[in-house]
Amino acid sequence: MTIIDQLESIIGQYQAGYLVLVDPDRIKLKEIPRFAQIAQSAGVDGILLGGSFLTNDLSTIAETLKKSTDLPIILFPGSAMQVTPHADAILFMSLLSGRNANYLIGEQVKAAPMIQRVGLETISTGYILIDGGQQTAVSFISNTTPIPNDKAEIAWAHALAGQYLGMKLIYLEAGSGAKTPVPDQIINSVKKQVTVPIIVGGGIRSPEVARKKVVAGAQFVVTGNVIEQDPSLMKAFADAIHS
Ligand code: 1GP
């Protein structure tokens, strides 16, 4: 079964799935087996690995994660430098909300030959940055301006364009550590316009808020920071998202 098939079957089973983001700069190699074990027993559906700016070696972390769990390891790359064979798939993203050609198509062209060589499954994903109330690493590094979080029609038009371009997922991102997550109203308006699954992440700090994102239309919810600080929260998030 491909990873995109697995993700779709999770939606079929629960309505919405739970993905945790591992930022290679914020996890220690020795902590990975325990983290992966907690994730697996908590009912997490998959692990995203990557970041907009990295100083650490992602490949070693991916390899250790892969050995530590049966959960799918899905690369969530900030650049072409974050391709490694030690994963099950890669979100092959284009930063649709920006007008920086490098993140729309440049990094993708650099990454494509390596992805082909290592045989990674690619999942074409339209990545849309929504203002989360503060400057985020992804906005700074990509040199792109997020969509204002009260402009639902701009958000859904980008998502629809992504779907028309053939993207299999739409990722609504407020940015890691965002003050405010993607508003329910934005998720809801995107959901009304597109048929492909919607992933929502950035600034989600409680299972209650995660549940609200599902009710608004998210088919996957991602948390990073909050579970880095306390991995035991993964169970409560998984339960809230799956319920
Ligand atoms: C993944 O960037 C998010 O889309 C993760 O954000 O670290 O704020 O949970 P947090």
| 13 three-class SS | helix
98 lines ligand 1 (CB under 6 A): no
CA distance 223 to 3: 19
Provide the CATH topology of domain 3-242. Answer: TIM Barrel (3.20.20)
Is 225:177 a contact under the CB 8 Å cutoff?
yes
The pLDDT assigned to 193 comes to 98
Tens-digit pLDDT string for the chain (243 aa): 999 999 999 999 999 999 999 999 999 999 999 999 999 999 999 999 999 989 998 999 999 999 999 999 999 999 999 999 999 999 999 999 999 999 999 999 999 999 999 999 999 999 999 999 999 999 999 999 999 999 999 999 999 999 999 999 999 999 999 999 999 999 999 999 999 999 999 999 999 999 999 999 999 999 999 999 999 999 999 999 999
**How far does the centroid of ligand 1 lie from the alpha carbon of residue 160, in Å?**
23
The pLDDT assigned to 194 comes to 98
Number of Cβ within 10 Å of residue 28's Cβ equals 9
Pocket test residue of 200, 225, 227 for ligand 1, highest count of atoms within 8 A of CB: 225
Distance set, CA 45 to CA 36, 71, 179 (Å): 11, 7, 25
Q: Which residues pair with 22 in a beta bridge?
A: 49
Sorted by sequence, the CB contacts under 8 Å of residue 188 that are 6+ apart come out as 152, 216, 217
Regarding beta strands 198-201 and 220-223, do their DSSP bridges make them parallel or antiparallel, or are they unpaired? parallel
For ligand 1, atom 4, the nearest C-alpha belongs to: 201
The DSSP 8-state label assigned to residue 146 in this structure reads P
Number of Cβ within 10 Å of residue 119's Cβ equals 7
Rg (CA), the chain: 16
**How far does the centroid of ligand 1 lie from the alpha carbon of residue 51, in Å?**
10
Is 199:205 a contact under the CB 8 Å cutoff?
no
Q: The whole model's pTM is what? A: 0.98
The pLDDT assigned to 187 comes to 99
The pLDDT assigned to 143 comes to 97
The pLDDT assigned to 229 comes to 94
223 lines ligand 1 (CB under 6 A): yes
**How far does the centroid of ligand 1 lie from the alpha carbon of residue 33, in Å?**
21
φ, ψ (nearest 5 deg) of residue 91: -75, 110
Distance set, CA 236 to CA 48, 72, 144, 158, 243 (Å): 19, 20, 34, 32, 10
Is 180:149 a contact under the CB 8 Å cutoff?
yes
The pLDDT assigned to 169 comes to 98
| Residue burial 228-242, b: 16+ Cβ < 10 Å; e: rest | beebebbbebbebbb
For ligand 1, atom 1, the nearest C-alpha belongs to: 201
203 lines ligand 1 (CB under 6 A): yes
